[in-house]
Each structure stands twice: as C-alpha cells, then as structure tokens.
Amino acid sequence: MHNKVYALKLVQDKLNGDNNYSYSQIASLTGYTKKQIYRFSKQLKEKDINSILVHGLTNKPSNNSVSPKEIEFIKNFKNQYPIISIQQFMDIYHEDIVFNTKMRKIVKDNNLKIRSYSFFESLYERFNWVKPIKHKSFNKDYDKHPLR
C-alpha cells in the first residue's frame, strides 16, 4: 500500500540532507516507483507537503458545471413549449440551438453545451415544469379481469 505522506517526508529529508536513502530505496520502502519519487522531489522543490497532498481541483467548479446564464436561457427557451416531454424538449434544444450553425453566437455567449437526459429531468423537477400525461388512469371501481 502506498503512503504518500511517508514518501514525501522521506524525499524532503533526502533533499534537506537528513537521510542517505537513494530514490530506489525510498521507492521500495513506500511502494511507489522510482519515477514517481523523482516527480515528488521535483514537486517538493516548488511546493510544501500539504499543498502537494491537496488535489489541484479542490474548491474549483467542474468544467462541465452549469452556468447561471445557461440555466436562464434554458428556462426562457422552455417557455415556448409549455407542455412537452423531457425527451422532446432535449431533442429540440439540441437540434434547434446547440447544433444549429446559425445559433453559434448565442451558444457561445450563453455557454450552452450538449446535456444529458438526466440533466433535463433534474431541471423539470427543480422548476416544476409540467410533463404530458403518459397514460390515463382507469377507474379502479371494476376488476380488470372479471371472473367467468
């Protein structure tokens, strides 16, 4: 099992001259490869141990996150289609807006992207948009299969 904190401490001690371990010995002690240990030593010359242990994308938004402009555009676009299924709305949004070459400027300005079905499903739930009724419910007063 790899122990990154221990490996970084050994490499830092080596860089400071506190131990005489070679990079190969540190690699065998910690379970990392020699190449990874070299990479750790390069990182330690630029940063401290704590900043190396924290992932670089911590507290940063995802590249695929939804911008408020995009949400506003989709809400306004949805007003044109008051009662429409999720799949139909998704298809219209992709074909008429995202893939339409005449709408490139709007797509770029509003940061519009291709979105999944589950994304539109969550929007329908979040904004309480009406979906068309799939099946009409029958009266439950009678048996569906009466006895002979």
Q: Write 85-90 long-range contacts (CB < 8 A, 24+).
A: 85/131, 85/132, 86/117, 86/120, 86/121, 86/124, 86/131, 87/117, 89/120, 90/115, 90/117, 90/120
Q: For residue 88, what pLDDT is reported?
A: 95
What number of other Cβ atoms are within 10 A of residue 62's Cβ? 7
What number of other Cβ atoms are within 10 A of residue 21's Cβ? 16
- 135: amino acid identity, one letter: H
pLDDT tens string for the chain (148 positions)? Answer: 588 999 999 999 999 999 999 999 999 999 999 999 999 999 999 999 998 998 888 888 888 889 999 999 999 999 999 889 999 999 999 999 999 999 999 999 999 999 999 999 999 999 999 888 766 666 666 566 667 7
Reported as half-sphere exposure (CB side, CA atoms, 13 A), residue 27 has a value of 13
Residue 74 three-state SS: helix
Q: For residue 138, what pLDDT is reported?
A: 60
Q: For residue 3, what pLDDT is reported?
A: 87
Where do the domains of the chain lie?
4-53, 68-126
Q: For residue 2, what pLDDT is reported?
A: 82
Residue ranges of the alpha helices (H) in the chain?
4-16, 23-30, 34-46, 49-53, 68-78, 86-93, 104-110, 117-126
